[in-house]
Structure 1
Amino acid sequence: MAVRQRAVSALPTLLRSLRKDPLKPHNHAHALPSLRRAFSLYDQINLIDNVPVDQLRIQGYTDTGFNVNGVEYEGSLLCVGNLLLSWKPKKFSDITADSLSLFQTVRPIPDILILGCGRNIQPVDPELRRFVRSIGIKLEAVDSRNAASTYNILNEEGRVVAAALLPYGVSS
């Protein structure tokens, strides 16, 4: 019983030592929650803090860009599987079939394209929806913060997923 009590009293110290913050956000940055957790009796322990070298993980966002695998990127991003590209659109109205034409050549074709609209969800033009559907991809439009989190979850599950992300500060 004494051993158990010592173990229980040592647990908070152990938890503090195991927790590493891969992203120390600046005053203006927002970190996304860690998705790599061991769900067990001690589900607060983050056992896998490191991202595999070949896997993208969006760790945070600002009004002007994103933090991916510990590197700050300014502007819009296109994430296809584990490929990261700078993306031209600066506002939601710039997103067209032409700006997403890369998906006509990418293989394997992603199951879903998560469109990060900036700060607020925007209605997607029916022509753009038809274009994405004609390639064989499902389209989900959400705010960029939730788009980044959803991309992380699906990518960690091993799904073939893509994200087109406008910076969070974009409001229309």
Structure 2
Amino acid sequence: MAVSQRLPHLIRALKSAPTRHVAGNHLLPSLRRAFSLYDQIDLIDKVPDDQLRFQQYTDTGFKVNGVDYEGSLLCVGNLLMSWTPKKFSEITPDSLSIFSTVRPIAEILILGCGRNIEPVDPEVRRFILSTGMKLEVLDSRNAASTYNILNEEGRIVAAALLPYGVSS
């Protein structure tokens, strides 16, 4: 019997087979829909091991890929490093100077200001724009989430994040 003839027979057999429920096993979702919202959320959680993903934030640091980090962080693509500034006023072109040498150039720098969004010093803004990056200024909680989304999309993104407990 040719494959094209066996396929309809196989489909009919599968449709008529009784469904068995075994404890601990779950049935696959219906193939009549591509993905439910739940399936999409589940797929987002399955991030490759080598891709940075912020999982939590605290007043003093962040949890990234299961590891707790204290203090401020700089991220470029999937590279993570400690960052010197402890408060927003310490963010200067010098503290961001790594972005003038890192290649490829990120398309956007997400600046996490701590608990509140702060106005960026014009000199810092000019420096960031001179590197070829765009600037997005957010509180650190939303900055970490935005970084996750853009990084998962495969975009070249950078983040400079102060801990959430930092305020002006």
Counterparts of 2:69 and 2:36, CA distance in 1: 34
Equivalent pairs counted in the alignment come to: 142
Per the alignment, in what secondary structure is the counterpart of residue 109 of structure 2? Answer: strand
RMSD value, Cα: 2.3
Where does the alignment leave 5 or more consecutive residues of structure 1 unmatched?
Answer: 16-38
1:95 aligns with 2:91: yes
Q: Which residue, 139, 145, 148 being the options, matches 1:149?
A: 145
Q: In the alignment, what sits opposite 1:42? A: 36
Alignment map for 1:95-134 (pairs within 5 Å): 95-134=91-130
Counterparts of 1:109 and 1:157, CA distance in 2: 16
Counterparts of 1:144 and 1:171, CA distance in 2: 11
1:53 aligns with 2:30: no
Q: In the alignment, what sits opposite 2:5? A: none
Check 1:119–1:14 CA distance in 2 against 1; reply closer, same or farther (3 A cut). farther
Superposed displacement of residue 49, structure 1: 3.3
Q: In the alignment, what sits opposite 2:59? A: 63
Q: In the alignment, what sits opposite 1:162? A: 158
| C-alpha distance after superposition, 1:51-84 (max 9, x if no partner) | 2122100011000000000100000000100000
Check 1:14–1:138 CA distance in 2 against 1; reply closer, same or farther (3 A cut). same
Check 1:64–1:104 CA distance in 2 against 1; reply closer, same or farther (3 A cut). same
Q: Give the counterpart letter for 2:57 in structure 1.
A: Y
Superposed displacement of residue 48, structure 1: 5.4
Counterparts of 1:48 and 1:127, CA distance in 2: 37
| C-alpha distance after superposition, 1:77-108 (max 9, x if no partner) | 00100000000000000000000000010000
The structure with the larger Rg is 2
TM-score normalised by structure 1 residue count: 0.76
Whether the 8 Å contact between 1:51 and 1:69 is mirrored in structure 2 is no
Counterparts of 2:151 and 2:138, CA distance in 1: 17
Whether the 8 Å contact between 1:78 and 1:85 is mirrored in structure 2 is yes
Counterparts of 2:161 and 2:34, CA distance in 1: 33
Q: Which residue, 73, 78, 82 being the options, matches 2:69?
A: 73
